[in-house]
Structure 1
Amino acid sequence: MIQLPLSKLSNVGTTIFSQMTQLANENEAINLSQGFPDFMPDLELLNWADHFMKEGFNQYAPMGGMMSLKEEIARKIENSHQAVYHPDSEITITAGGTQAIFTAIATFVKKDDEVIIFEPAYDCYEPTVELFGGIVKRFEMRAPDYEINWNKVRDLVSENTKMIILNNPNNPSGRVLKENDLQELIKIVKGTSILILSDEVYENIVFDGKQHLSICRYPELKDRTLMVASFGKLFHVTGWKIGYCAAPKILTDEFRKIHQFNVFSVNTPIQLALAEYMKHEEHYKQLNRFFQEKRDFLRQGLAGTSFELLDCEGTYFQALRYDKISDKNDFDFARELTVTHKVATVPFSSFYKNKLNENVIRLCFAKKQETLEKAIENLSRL
């Protein structure tokens, strides 16, 4: 038999999110593992999508995206962060945030380029860098506070550093970057040609009166940054797979050279629906309050248990430390929770290359009230 070649990512398996969701389904468990809402999006948004489909807007969109949506994005960014992007030449609509991340890395990372990431990290960063011959250099953030030691980050920088990838607010830790973090980053990249890929898909989900400090607020960073966001996270429509990348024209021009051969363009009627829906800022400005109520409900429900609730400043994920309950590693404990206690979670070790185990798991609280109530009831029995 002919020996066929393996893929360039032959050592990569199925994501932990798919694994835990499958395990949840097999055991009829409450799925708090994968990050998606189990409630309906706003009917108004669905009606707009239906409207544009029935009006005949069902063919290819322009490669960079529909102008009406890009204009609303530019307005949102300027109002939220006081940063200006030209909608035609500096904003590109993508098939979700992950496609934007993949395309940004594919565009700029070449063989032996070094890319700095911060762990715990979203699982698409490292495989994509390696796919294009890059070398990943990691800074490990540790429980319970997941702080960044910028002196150690500085030690990772070399003449081969091409890109720094940031996720703010951070999935899975829920940490948000502070003013000091951004000032330290400015010092590190000053006088270099290092690019920044800023994954800000949870920008509108920040709690307790804290402010999301977007990279684009800082001119020294904005001029070298590809900023990624997601409508799936913004409007509870993760299955629509639509996001965007905002970047200076010189970077956007290069980004689109790859984007055109990756997906070329994105769902036309959905873009138009989102553009109409975004005209009313209250549709996204209330997200902080909406998800904080869910976060607080979950935390209050688990406050009397033996779980240690780590700080959650943003995202719709809550980190729990369980070392007072079990001495199992986090993967085995997450599996036990799913099979025995019927609540599926994600082990934090899956967000680290070296599978760092600090007895921490992640729960998604973007769920209906009854879903959270049942999960709290099950977890309270431990």
Structure 2
Amino acid sequence: MRSFQQLIMLSGLLLTSLPLLATSQVFISQEASFRLETVADGLEHPWSLAFLPDGSMLVTERAGRLRAIRNGELEPQPVLGLPAPAVSGQGGLLDIALHPDFEKNQTLFLSYAHRSGAGMTTRVARAILDKNRLKDVTVIFEALPRSGTTRHFGGRMAFDGSDYLYISVGDRGEMDRAQNTGDDAGGVHRITVNGEPAPGNPGVDDPGINNTLFTWGNRNIQGMTVHPVTGDIWTHEHGPRGGDEINILRAGTNYGWPEITYGIDYSGIPITLETEKEGMAQPLHYWDPSIAPSGMAFYSGSEFPRWQGSLFVGALKMRKLVRLNIENGQVTGEEDLLTTLGERIRDVRTGPGGSLWLLTDSPQGKVYRIVPVQ
């Protein structure tokens, strides 16, 4: 039986043979020239992308639909059986992550905003994909307490090498919650695939810390990826007006929000005069002014040899793709790409066969594949 990784490589061969619509514009990078191929369009605010072993793809739409792309075509009917997300403000259907053993168990995970009489929150559900339907849908995580706001749900997810699932939860627009370790908002949670606190979490033996919390002091993480060599979980999060951050997650680390920040309030008034404080981590990299980052991926493929090891970050506000040079765990250079495209980049993924993929955030959102120009 082929391994999941082998099937992913095979699916890369399948994807390269699909009929794709290429843009005529050539984009020039410091290290490569490339074009964009439109794989799918007409998606309503697509948020996340996952590649299946058979060469097909699943795309979440924030409006509450999960869509399949098969044989190069967007399926007209959405996948059935989804939990009902609350589509309001920044809420809706958010991230999708495949179980590390998806080849055998067909299990996937979805994050989404959920509403009840007590307000809204971030939830994660586990389900089994059976053709075009989800079965055995089970809620395995719910951030508490709920609140009435419709922003900062976080919702990005990633698996580490021990098959533990990391889930970001934003501060919900109520900044002081991020410093309260008895509150699920404003942090990253680490759980098992059954929703239990992962062994070794900071709160397992500390009653003052919620037992699923892994980090806190995070404003609103919408980018999360695994370093292909070290296995570390890297994230980025939205600052207010300035102060977007890139961080490497370390258990029990306080990333400072809102006690320290390199940004200011949207009104122009400082949130704090402090950018450093004892016991709070400094960002690995930050942007000021804000680019509104969303989605991130390390590149380790062969299509763009000179991009290997680079970290790619999508930008919503600044409508671009950012490539960061990474050396020994540090950011040593930055390059802006796709600045003339005029699209809000919602997600960035490394795909089968070493390709790089993008989602654009709009009512007529697209799935793009970046291809080299010889």
TM-score past 0.5 threshold: no
Select the structure that is richer in strand. Answer: 2
Task: Indicate the structure whose relative CO is greater, using CA pairs within 8 Å and at least 6 residues apart.
Answer: 1
TM-score scaled by length of structure 1:
0.25
TM-score scaled by length of structure 2:
0.25
Instruction: State the structure with more CA Rg.
Output: 1
